[in-house]
Amino acid sequence: MPKTERFGLTEEEQMLQDMVRRLAREKVAPGAEERDKVGEFPFDMLELMRENGLMGVDFPDEYDGMNAGMLSHCIVVEELAKVDASVALIPSCQELGCLPIILAGNHEQKDKHLRPLATGEKVAAFALTEARGGSDVASLRTRAVRKGDRYVLNGTKQFITNGGVADTIAVYAVTEPDAPTHKNASVFIVEKEFTGFSASRKESKLGIRCSDTRELVFEDVEIPVENRLGEEGDGFHIMMKTLDFSRPSVASQALGIAAGAFEYATEYAKERVTFGLPIIKHQAIAFKLADMAMRITAARQLLYKTCDLLDSRCAKDLSKVPAEVIRHSSMSKAYCSDVAMWTTIEAVQVLGGYGYITEYPVERMMRDAKITQIYEGTNEIQRLVIAGTL
Ligand code: COS
C-alpha cells in the first residue's frame, strides 16, 4: 500500500489510528481516573480490547493474529496511552508475553498457545525479573531441572505485569548451571493451572495503578518438555530478542503518555487567562509547549523508524538481530520515556495547582510516565546497549 506521505502512515495504519483514537476517547478515557483510584485490573477494558481485535495486532495471521506489523501495534498502544497508560499496557504486555512463543515456538506450540492469546481469549505475562534484579539477566537464579519428559521448576519472579490475571506465562529459568553464562538458561511456557504455581503478593504502585503487578512463585512446578521454547540453552537469546521487539511497545506507551499530557496542557493554556492573556501567549508557557511539541515529534519519528526497521529487517524467529535494529529499539525506548517524564512534569507545571490534583489527568500521567524509564530495561541499561552497538 502506498504511503499517503513520506514519513507518514499507510491508509490502513491511519484507519486503525482513527478507530483506536475514537475508542480511547469514548470508551477508555471516561473511567481512567476511577481505575487509577481503585487499582484493580480492569476486566471490562480487557473485554474492550478483545472485542476490537487489539490483542494480537502484530501476531502472525496463521495463528489468528492480524499480522499488521510492529508499527500498527505501536499506533494502538500510543492512542490508548494518550488517555490511560494502564489500559495501553493490556495489548502491550500481551505482545511482550507472547513474543518468546512467536520468536521461538514450533508449530504445535503456536497452534496450541498463540491462537487463544492472539484473540485475547487468554492473557499472557513475561516472567524474567527476580528479587535480585532484572538488569543482569545472566545472573538470574530460577531453576528448572530436567527429569525424564518433564522439568521441575523452582524460584520466584518479581514485578510481573499481569501476574495475577495471566493464563500463559513465559518463564526464564537456568537449566544448565555449569554451561557458559549466556547459554545456561531456557524459556518455558507455564500454564496457570500447573500445580505449584501461584501469583502471590500484589504490588501497590506509584503509577499504572490498575495493572496487576505480582510476585510469582514456582514450587516444584512440573512442566512437560513440549513447553520448552527452542533448544535447551536458548533462553538468554530468546529473551534478548524478545526485548528488541518489545521495547518499541514501551516507547509507544511513553509517547502516548507524553502526547496526552501535551494535548491537555495545550488546551488548558489556551483557556486559562492571567494578566489579561491566555497563558499560551506568555513566553514562559509558550516555550514549554513548543519544546514538548518538538520532542514529541522527534520521539514519534524515531519510534516509527524503529518499527520500520523491525518490520523490514528482522525475521520473527531466532535469527540474529542487526546492531542497527538493537540500537534503534533501545534508543526509542529510552528517548520516548525520557520525553514522557519531562513532558508530564512540565504539563503539571503548566496547569499549576490544578496540575497537582487528581481531578485533572496530568498528575496521573506524570506518575504513569515514571515506570516507562524503568521497565523492560532501565534507561541506564538502554544507554549501555546503545553504546555497545556503536
Ligand atoms: N539483542 C540480541 N542479542 C543480544 C542483545 C540484544 N539486545 N544483547 C546482548 N545480546 C547477545 C550478545 O550479542 C551476545 O551474543 P554472543 O554470545 O553470541 O556473542 C550475548 O547476548 C551476551 O551479550 P552480553 O555479553 O552483552 O550480555 P550481558 O550479560 O553483559 O548483558 C545486557 C547484556 C545488560 C544488555 C542484558 O542483560 C539486558 O538487556 N539486560 C536488561 C534486561 C531487561 O530489560 N530487564 C528488564 C526486565 S524484563 S521486563
- DSSP letters spanning 241-255: HHHHHHHHHHHHHHH
Atom of ligand 1 nearest to the CA of 159: 49
Residue-wise pLDDT tens digits, 223-233: 999 999 999 99
Contact 328, 299 (CB under 8 A): no
Q: How far apart are CA 12 and CA 188, in angstroms?
A: 35
* Fold of domain 11-122: Butyryl-Coa Dehydrogenase, subunit A; domain 1 (1.10.540)
Q: What is the pLDDT of residue 111?
A: 98
Residue 240 in grid coordinates: 534478548
Q: What are the backbone angles phi and psi of residue 68, rounded to the nearest 5°?
A: -95, 0
What is the predicted pLDDT for the residue at 4? 57
Write out the DSSP string of 33-101: HHHHHH----HHHHHHHHHTT-SSTTS-GGGT----HHHHHHHHHHHHHTT-HHHHHHHHHHHHHHHHH
Quote the CA–CA distance of 28 and 378 in Å, as a whole number. Answer: 28
CA of 348 to the centre of ligand 1 (A): 36
Q: Which atom of ligand 1 is nearest to the CA of 388?
A: 26
pLDDT at 1: 53
Could you report how far apart the first and last alpha carbons of the chain are, in Å? 34
Grid cell 533501545 in the structure block, residue: 330
For 326, which DSSP code? H
240 lines ligand 1 (CB under 6 A): yes
Distance 123 CA to ligand 1 centre (A): 26
- Ligand 1: distance of its center to the CA of 64 in Å? 31
The verdict on the CB of residue 99 being under 6 Å from ligand 1 is: no
Cβ–ligand 1 distance for 314 under 6 Å, the answer no
**Rounded distance, CA 195 to CA 215, Å?**
17
If one counts every other C-beta atom within 10 angstroms of the C-beta of residue 211, the result is 26
Q: Is 125 in the pocket of ligand 1 (CB under 6 A)?
A: no
**Do the beta carbons of residue 81 and residue 92 sit within 8 Å?**
no
Looking at residue 176, its amino acid is E
Q: What letter represents residue 362's amino acid?
A: V
Q: Which residues contact 57 (CB under 8 A, 6 or more apart)?
A: 16, 65, 66, 68, 72, 73, 76, 91
Residue positions annotated with a catalytic role: 376
Q: What angle do CA 374, 83, 157 make, to 5 degrees?
A: 30
Q: What are 157-174's pLDDT values in tens digits?
A: 999 999 999 999 999 999
Contact 347, 365 (CB under 8 A): yes
Superfamily per CATH, domain 125-229: Butyryl-CoA Dehydrogenase, subunit A, domain 2 (2.40.110.10)
| Ligand 1: centre distance to CA 191 (Å) | 26
Which of the listed residues 126, 157, 213, 240 should we mutate to test ligand 1's pocket, taking the one with most ligand atoms within 8 A of CB?
240
Report domain extents, the chain.
11-122, 125-229, 235-388
Cα 237 to ligand 1 centre (Å): 8
- In this structure, the strands spanning 168-174 and 124-127 are parallel
pLDDT tens digits for 236-294?
Answer: 999 999 999 999 999 999 999 999 999 999 999 999 999 999 999 999 999 999 999 99
Asked whether the predicted pLDDT for residue 119 surpasses 70, the reply is yes
138 C-beta closer than 6 A to ligand 1: yes
CA of 301 to the centre of ligand 1 (A): 26
Q: Are 142 and 157 in contact (CB under 8 A)?
A: yes
Q: Is 385 in the pocket of ligand 1 (CB under 6 A)?
A: yes
Cell, residue 27: 470508551
Q: Is any atom of ligand 1 closer than 6 Å to the C-beta of 386?
A: no
| Sequence-distant (≥ 6) Cβ neighbours of residue 103 within 8 angstroms | 238, 241, 242, 245, 316, 317, 318
Question: Could you tell me if 247 and 180 are in contact, meaning their C-beta atoms sit under 8 angstroms apart?
Answer: no
Q: Whose CA is nearest to atom 22 of ligand 1?
A: 182
Tell me: pLDDT of 357 over 80. yes
Q: What is the pLDDT of residue 280?
A: 98
Query: Which positions ≥6 away from 150 have C-beta within 8 Å?
Result: 222, 223, 224, 225
Find out whether 330 and 382 touch, Cβ atoms under 8 Å: yes
Q: Whose CA is nearest to atom 40 of ligand 1?
A: 135
> What pLDDT is attached to residue 121?
98
170 lines ligand 1 (CB under 6 A): no
In tens, the pLDDT along 287-328 reads: 999 999 999 999 999 999 999 999 999 999 999 999 999 999
| Chain-centre distance for alpha carbon 65 | 18
Residue range 235-388, CATH number: 1.20.140.10
In tens, the pLDDT along 10-19 reads: 999 999 999 9
* Strand duo 213-224 + 197-202: pairing: antiparallel
Protein residue with its CA nearest to atom 11 in ligand 1 = 237
Mean pLDDT of the chain: 96
Is the pLDDT at 3 greater than 70? The verdict is: no
Q: Is the pLDDT of residue 60 over 60?
A: yes
